[in-house]
Structure 1
Amino acid sequence: MPAPDRPRVALFVTCLVDLMRPSIGFASIAALEDAGCEVIVPEAQTCCGQPALNSGDRSTAADIARRTIAALEGHDAVVVPSGSCAATIRVHYPEILEDDPAWFPRAQALAAKTWEVMAYLDEVRGWRPTNVDLPATATYHDSCSGLRELGIKHQPRRLLAAVGGLGLTPLAGAETCCGFGGTFCVKYPAISNAIVGEKAAAIDATGAQLLLAGDLGCLMNMAGKLHRDGSPVRAFHAVEILAGMGDGPAIGETA
């Protein structure tokens, strides 16, 4: 069946975006609508269950998965502004529900139409931002889940290349973990701080004005370290730049 010209897209906002950086959600809506989508934000959505899954509580993760599937499955696509949350739905829901004959096929069906936002804009919609200009230099960090579980690498760079005046500077160790790792940074703070310290030094060494990435958890971790070290680098989710919101407060800044 061919894809609809104006797909009904469910935006799965994610907990961090909802609580800490709603502008990422609004930027996602703006970009998706510009790409010809009808965007719905299902009110029944909650957490994707990733913290429970990462902590070994598969029973709770499975319960959350069932609730999330029921909230999202009635749409043409599900789009997520987070590689880790998108990977939880797309990769791990079928794994944790594989022994449930009623829910496993529903998990598979939802997984097949769940996308990280920049992959959806680039691969599915073939969209590029128009009339978006930002005269600045930026560097890009590849978040672990998006890169390794979903193959998110070239999609954001292709989209950002269409932003007028924006130059992308390579980041040494762009594919190396920032030290966030969800609950990892809470369980192992000393190790996490050492990892993000190396990442912050690499970011500063690029000379870029902006740090961009596709996962808010990673961005908050790196932005916090850069700020504590007195770095002038400002952090944004890449979709904020694509939606023309690069002139607003950066992550960790107040309006």
Structure 2
Amino acid sequence: MRVALFVTCVNDAVFPSTGVATVRLLERLGVEVDFPSAQTCCGQPQFNTGYRRETAPLVRRTVRAFEGYEHVVVPSGSCAAMVRHHYPSFGPRAAALGPRVRELTEFLVDVLGVTDVGAYFPHAVTYHPSCHGLRLLGLGDRPRRLLEAVRGLELRELPGAEECCGFGGTFAVKNPDVSAAMGADKVAHAVETGAGVLCGADNSCLLHVGGTASRLKAPLRTVHLAEVLASTEEEPWR
């Protein structure tokens, strides 16, 4: 099977290790991965802030970049939700991309039909479901099923898991005090579990939580789900 990787601008600019891990994971499962070089931002920051006219060229560019692919895999529920739920308002060509876009855990569980991906991650982990993945995409228990199949991983329940971490894209910029308080609550709940690692499927959320944990000097590392699933005894996550 051949797919296109939509790495997203956040991962490309700030978390390239997530893109590398996604490719390594998919290739280990026998998937051939293409990286269309024309891809760029999906337009979500502009769209969410009300700049629809400025969003349109980014939508058109994204649609062109991924034409011809049956599956487009995205290690970000936030960007996948943008394409699936908001691109249809930009016309039929944009709407046609939506059904072909799969968030990483959807692709693994629903398309490849796997939950055990051969991963090894000997750490205590707690999982934060991002708002877009939880509410707009309805990822449900897919991420948890994948984590539960990882050898050596001890999955600990996160209190208030379904509460927003406080990032919310431009929400964090417009409401910094509220955002910071929500982030502090999320970090406190994660530390309460005793897990040393908080895992998520959206690096935008992990950026916010990780930054909050660092400022609070909390004993917590954040790591994208793709990096956990890509980790093996031969290629351990560090």
CA distance in 2, matches of 1:191, 1:34: 42
Q: Give percent identity, aligned residues only.
A: 49
| Paired position in structure 2 for 1:156 | 143
Of residues 40, 48, 64 in structure 2, which corresponds to 1:46? 40
Q: Partners in 1 of 2:28 and 2:114 — Cα distance?
A: 8
The match for 1:63 is: 57
Greater CA deviation, 30-39 or 50-59? 30-39
State the one-letter code of the partner of 1:215: D
2:227–2:237 CA contact under 8 A, matched in 1: no
* 2:3 pairs with one of 5, 9, 22: 9
Q: Is the 8 A contact 1:129 1:242 kept in 2?
A: no
When the two structures are aligned, how many residues end up with a matched partner?
236
1:94-127 per-residue CA deviation (whole Å, 9 max, x = no partner) reads 02x1xxxxxx222222101101011111111112
SS in 2 for 1:165: coil
SS of structure 2 residue aligned to 1:133? coil
Q: Secondary structure at the match of 2:168?
A: coil
CA contact (8 A) 1:69 1:107 kept: yes
Determine the structure 1 residue equivalent to 2:79: 85
**Secondary structure of the residue that 1:164 maps to in structure 2?**
coil
Aligned residues of 1:83 and 1:146 also touching (Cα < 8 A): yes
**RMSD of aligned residue pairs (Cα, Å):** 1.4
Deviation at 1:131? 4.1
Structure 2 length normalisation: TM-score? 0.95
Q: Does structure 1 residue 75 correspond to structure 2 residue 69?
A: yes
Cα separation, partners in 2 of 1:32 and 1:247, compared to 1, 3 Å: closer
Q: Quick one: distance in 2 between partners of 1:70 and 1:148?
A: 28
Counterpart residue type for residue 59 of structure 1: R
Rounded Cα–Cα distance in structure 1 between residues aligned with 2:52 and 2:72: 23
1:189 aligns with 2:183: no
Q: CA deviation at 1:80?
A: 0.6
5 Å matches for 1:1-255? 6=1, 8-95=2-89, 97=90, 104-244=91-231, 247-249=236-238
The answer to whether the Cα contact below 8 Å between 1:35 and 1:121 also exists between their aligned partners in 2 is no
How does the TM-score come out when normalised to structure 1? Answer: 0.89
